[in-house]
């Protein structure tokens, strides 16, 4: 499809389920879709499903028109087989494009999702009450409401984070001038004008789609150019779990598919409240919801580029909030990756959210626990991986820098084994040569691997002495990254966008070189 794309990491997938168990969950999902079926609040989708053989009847609900839909298994199976197994997500720079192939376990990591709070960090010095010569430096955190300015800062930072492969807007913009109508154009422009990697977001207002697509066409160089290099894509959470198709999101699915741009069909039930907490029940339900969403896209337009978007979470049992850093989260998510692979549809998966509210040991534990496991599954597109804290309620750029280091190490760790025939031959020659030398040291041969970039470096933020200075060192690195130039679009492109697209905030008008 394309020959230049980001390397990601090609892994040997870890699988939790046997093929028999995968088939059992698939059958369970199809059973759910037949009985009890789904509740659909969108008439157009209902008619489309009905026209392709689904059994439909009107439900009696309060205040809304709603239909129950029972899907024959054949309809779901035929539709999911029409979904492409491989697709390209474009980018402003061709080397930043992503190649997603359901049959190739190449893993990409990106940001997400739409938190309301930006966490700013500074380090402050404190003096001991016992001994005023003893001082410690401690991070202090400040919460800021999300703005277009901060979203632009996030995009610019993410452009510079080596191991971040794609950008999902991590911050909800809440500037005084932002309305429902202009939310989408500002969100996409604040992202696209600050990053050369793939940009993905949900759509707030269906009416804004035309302008968002036009903006992307201007940047890509035309209508056809955008479809060949789709530098934007969308996320649609078409289901409100359990098993209810949302009216306005279904309309967005129609519009996005008709616009010919890639779409994630995402579902995020919570085990314990809006889905069973037990593995089999949770996975059968989320899979059923995603399959209906994918079926909808393929009935609108066969072959529409779509990702299998699984975000199954578990409820905390003390307050029913989401709980991310727990074993069940991994179990649910790994199962979903296997199902997506079984269907040959690229998987949008989830890892790296902390329940922790600030960077630190809890965040590190929770993030490593999911980053590593989910990378091992071979999910093609792992979102939520950078900077998210407090169960997706906040984005912390310092945490994004820490996550970048962690993900880099994981990519290195899971890289392809270098045990080809010529690697072994080289090793045998090396051993003979070193054992014939006086000092019997392999350091000269270490250089080769070192200079080729095959050897990982020590943890980037380590301290030299008996102190833990990770936060302070990462903050210094963040400052260095933020001091580097932002990859703004050139002036003519920005001027054209401001001329053609209404509703953009004036503070976003920045050009290459600013």
Partner 1 sequence: MSSQELIEKIAFNVIQGRLEAGDEGFDPGLEGQPAVTELMQEALEQGVDPKDIVLGALTRSMEIVGEKFERNEYLIPDMLASAECVGLAMEMLAPHLIKAGIKSKGKFIIATVAGDLHDIGKNIVAIMLKGAAYEVIDLGTDVSVERILEAVREHQAPYVGLSALLTTTMRVMGDVVQRLEDEGLRQQVKVLIGGAPTSAEFAQQIGADAYCKDAFQALDKLKTLET
Q: Could you give the CA distance from residue 372 to residue 365 in angstroms, rounded to a whole number? A: 11
Among 317, 441, 463, 485, binds partner 1 (CB under 8 A): 441
Kindly tell me which residue out of 417, 440, 464, 465 binds partner 1, with binding defined by CB under 8 A.
Answer: 440
Residue 55 or 447: which CB sits closer to partner 1? 447
Q: Total binding residues for partner 1 by CB under 8 A?
A: 11
What does the DSSP assignment read for 169-180?
--B----TT--H
Distance CA 328, CA 269 (A): 13
> Least distance to partner 1 from the beta carbon of 449, Å?
9
Locate 443 and state its tokens: 């350091």
State yes or no: residue 466 binds partner 1 (CB under 8 A): no
* Nearest CB to partner 1, comparing residues 223 and 457: 457
Nearer to partner 1, 137 or 448 (CB): 448
**Of the candidates 450, 468, 480, 500, which one interacts with partner 1 according to CB under 8 A?**
450
CB of 443 to partner 1, least distance (A): 4
Bridge-based pairing state of the strands 55-59 and 66-70: antiparallel
Q: Does 443 engage in binding with partner 1 (CB under 8 A)? A: yes
Minimum CB–partner distance for residue 375 and partner 1 (Å): 28
Q: Does 132 bind partner 1 (CB under 8 A)?
A: no
Binding-site member from 74, 444, 485, 500 for partner 1 (CB under 8 A): 444
C-alpha to C-alpha distance for 72 and 257, rounded to whole angstroms: 23
For residue 45, give the nearest of 246, 287, 285 by alpha carbon: 246
Q: How many CA atoms lie within 13 A of 495 on its CB side?
A: 4
Each residue 399-438 as x (binds partner 1 by CB under 8 A) or -, in order, gives ---------------------------------------x
How many other CB atoms sit within 10 Å of the CB of residue 482? 14
Interstrand relation of 394-395 and 388-389 (parallel, antiparallel or unpaired)? antiparallel
Least distance to partner 1 from the beta carbon of 111, Å? 30
Could you list the beta-strand ranges (E) of 187-276.
198-202, 232-236, 239-240, 244-245, 263-267, 270-271
Please identify, using beta-carbon distances, which residue of 133 and 451 lies nearer to partner 1: 451
Tell me how far apart the alpha carbons of residues 452 and 268 are, in angstroms, rounded to a whole number: 42
Judged by CB under 8 A, which stretch of 252-260, 337-345, 444-452, 496-504 contacts partner 1? 444-452
Residue with tokens 């990697």: 197
Whole-Å CA distances, 31 to 25, 26, 249? 10, 9, 25
**Torsion from C-alpha of 81, 86, 89, 90, nearest 10 degrees:** -130
The DSSP call for residue 275 is: B
Look at the block and give the residue holding tokens 């955008």.
Answer: 226
Among the listed residues 417, 439, 453, 513, the single contact to partner 1 using CB under 8 A: 439
Place of tokens 């890289």: 415
Check residue 448 for interaction with partner 1 (CB under 8 A). yes
462 lies in the binding site for partner 1 (CB under 8 A): no
For partner 1, which stretch binds (CB under 8 A), given 140-148, 282-290, 371-379, 445-453?
A: 445-453
Residue closer to partner 1, measured from CB, 123 or 449: 449
Task: Please identify which residue in 224, 446, 479, 484 interacts with partner 1, judged by CB under 8 A.
Answer: 446
Q: Interface residues with partner 1 (CB under 8 A)?
A: 438-441, 443-444, 446-448, 450-451
């Amino acid at each position: 499809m394309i020959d230049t794309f980001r390397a990601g990491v090609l892994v040997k997938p870890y699988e939790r389920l046997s093929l028999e168990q995968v088939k059992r969950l698939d059958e369970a999902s199809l059973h759910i879709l037949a009985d009890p079926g789904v509740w659909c609040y969108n008439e157009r989708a209902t008619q489309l499903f009905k026209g392709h053989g689904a059994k439909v009847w009107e439900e009696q609900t309060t205040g809304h028109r709603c239909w129950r839909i029972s899907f024959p298994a054949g309809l779901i199976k035929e539709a999911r087989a029409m979904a492409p197994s491989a697709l390209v997500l474009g980018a402003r720079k061709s080397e930043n494009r992503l190649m997603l192939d359901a049959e190739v376990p190449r893993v990409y990591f990106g940001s997400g999702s739409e938190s309301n709070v930006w966490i700013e960090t500074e380090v402050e010095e404190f003096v001991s009450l016992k001994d005023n010569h003893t001082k410690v430096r401690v991070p202090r955190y400040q919460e800021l409401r999300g703005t277009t300015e901060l979203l632009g800062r996030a995009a610019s930072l993410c452009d510079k984070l080596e191991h971040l492969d794609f950008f999902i807007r991590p911050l909800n913009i809440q500037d005084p001038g932002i309305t429902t109508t202009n939310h989408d154009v500002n969100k996409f422009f604040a992202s696209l004008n600050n990053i050369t990697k793939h940009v993905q977001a949900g759509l707030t207002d269906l009416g804004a789609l035309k302008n968002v697509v036009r903006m992307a066409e201007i940047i890509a160089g035309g209508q056809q150019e955008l479809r060949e290099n789709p530098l934007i894509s969308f996320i649609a959470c078409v289901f409100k779990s359990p098993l209810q198709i949302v009216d306005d999101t279904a309309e967005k699915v129609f519009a996005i598919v008709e616009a010919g741009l890639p779409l994630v069909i995402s579902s995020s039930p919570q085990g314990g409240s809006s889905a069973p907490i037990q593995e089999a029940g949770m996975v059968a339900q989320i899979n059923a919801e995603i399959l209906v969403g994918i079926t909808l896209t393929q009935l609108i337009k066969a072959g529409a580029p779509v990702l299998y978007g699984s975000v199954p979470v578990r409820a905390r049992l003390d307050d029913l909030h989401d709980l991310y850093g727990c074993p069940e989260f991994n179990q649910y998510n790994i199962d979903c990756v296997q199902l997506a692979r079984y269907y040959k549809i690229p998987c949008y998966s989830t890892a790296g959210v902390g329940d922790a509210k600030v960077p630190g040991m809890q965040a590190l534990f929770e993030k490593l626990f999911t980053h590593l496991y989910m990378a091992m599954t071979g999910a093609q597109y792992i979102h939520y991986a950078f900077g998210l804290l407090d169960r997706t309620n906040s984005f912390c750029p310092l945490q994004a820098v820490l996550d970048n280091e962690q993900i880099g190490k994981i990519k290195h760790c899971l890289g392809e084994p270098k045990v080809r025939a010529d690697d072994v031959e080289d090793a045998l020659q090396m051993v003979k040569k070193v054992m014939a030398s006086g000092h019997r040291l392999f350091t000269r041969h270490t250089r080769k691997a070192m200079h080729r970039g095959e050897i990982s470096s020590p943890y980037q933020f380590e301290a030299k002495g008996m102190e833990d200075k990770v936060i302070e060192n990462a903050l210094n690195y963040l400052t260095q990254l933020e001091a580097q130039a932002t990859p703004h679009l050139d002036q003519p492109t920005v001027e054209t966008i401001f001329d053609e697209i209404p509703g953009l905030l004036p503070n976003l008008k920045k050009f290459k070189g600013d």
